[in-house]
Structure 1
Amino acid sequence: MALVPVYSETLLPSVWKWLLAPAGGAAAGIITVVLGVPVAVVVGVVVTIALVAVLVRTAPVTVVTDDELRAGRAHLPREFVGSVEILEGSALEQAMGPGLDARAHLQFSSSAPAAVRVDLRDPQDPTPYWLLSTRHAHELARALVADADQAAHSEQTG
């Protein structure tokens, strides 16, 4: 049971979202300036650091290992990975809008230009598919397909 990632991606926020941290720190500093300039500066810096920590901590993480696909806290054993489809542009808009199944597992980031749809082969799981935002759709799909191919090969030879 190897836990070495075949693929790993953390979807850090876009530049515009990063600008929220110093803006929030500045706002907090302005609000507390009535308590004194030193207090306002300290509050502004602390709030900025806290907001950066929140942005990093809440960034979606996708990891593919030999044993599983992890999307945030959700885990999917590799034997349940079905077909894999890359979604970009209008196909992604359709999949995230009118084509979305309410039972699907989503890991979405508006800063990612693409997503990968992973169909599930678990008859006991009511989740039909996972839809994972990514900046590297082809690499993620390749890791998932290679992982599924290795699993099928090891089941046939084992």
Structure 2
Amino acid sequence: MTAPTTFRERLYVPWWGWPLPLAAAVLLAAEIHMGFPGVRSWLPYLITVPLTAFLIVRMGSAKVEVTDGELRVGDAHIPVGLLGEVEVFTAQTKRQAMGPNLDPAAYVAHRGWIGPMVRVRVNDPEDPTPYWLFSTRHAEEIAELLR
């Protein structure tokens, strides 16, 4: 029997992040098909536009989850028992955390279109990662869960 999921959030690319890549895919398809009749005229559109949509969804999304006593951010996971101090950053204060105060060894899952971030210290002596810094829309809620 598994423990219930305490928190789950999927960080998708917002609607305003889609038009430019899709327009670029259409332009690329138009460049490829220029002057070719028949199948070669529509095949580039059939390939580039869905491929671009797939890449936006796959590369632009991340999952933040607290379940089974673990914090999962993207593909990484760590037991909640190994976590220490939790700090919340707003859209205005995350600039310092992501800029001059960022440790190069930290695990970072940043999504620029999401304002708040959470920094969680790692208290594992065998782990070289000092902390995790990740974007979330519900920073206060996940901070309370991890405290």
TM-score over 0.5 (shorter chain): yes
- Aligned-residue RMSD, C-alpha: 1.9
* Matched residue type, 1:85: E
Q: CA deviation at 1:30?
A: 1.2
Q: 2:84 aligns with which of 60, 82, 85?
A: 82
- 1:4-153 counterparts in 2 under 5 A? 4-31=4-31, 32-36=33-37, 39-58=40-59, 59-145=61-147
| CA-CA distance at 1:23 after TM superposition | 0.7
Q: Hey, what's the Cα distance between the residues in 2 that align with 1:120 and 1:23?
A: 42
Unaligned runs of 5+ in 2: none
- Whether the 8 Å contact between 2:30 and 2:44 is mirrored in structure 1 is no
Deviation at 1:141, TM superposition (A): 1.6
Unaligned runs of 5+ in 1: 146-158
The share of aligned pairs that are identical, in percent, is 34
Q: Higher helix fraction: Structure 1 or Structure 2? A: 1
Residues 53-99 of structure 1 deviation map (CA, whole Å, 9 limit, x = unaligned): 11111212211113201111111011111121110133210000001
* Map of 1:2 onto structure 2: 2
Name the SS of the counterpart of 1:35 in structure 2. coil
Amino acid in the other structure paired with 2:74:
G
1:16-64 Cα offsets, whole Å, 9 max, x none, are 3211342133112311232237633342243111111111112122111
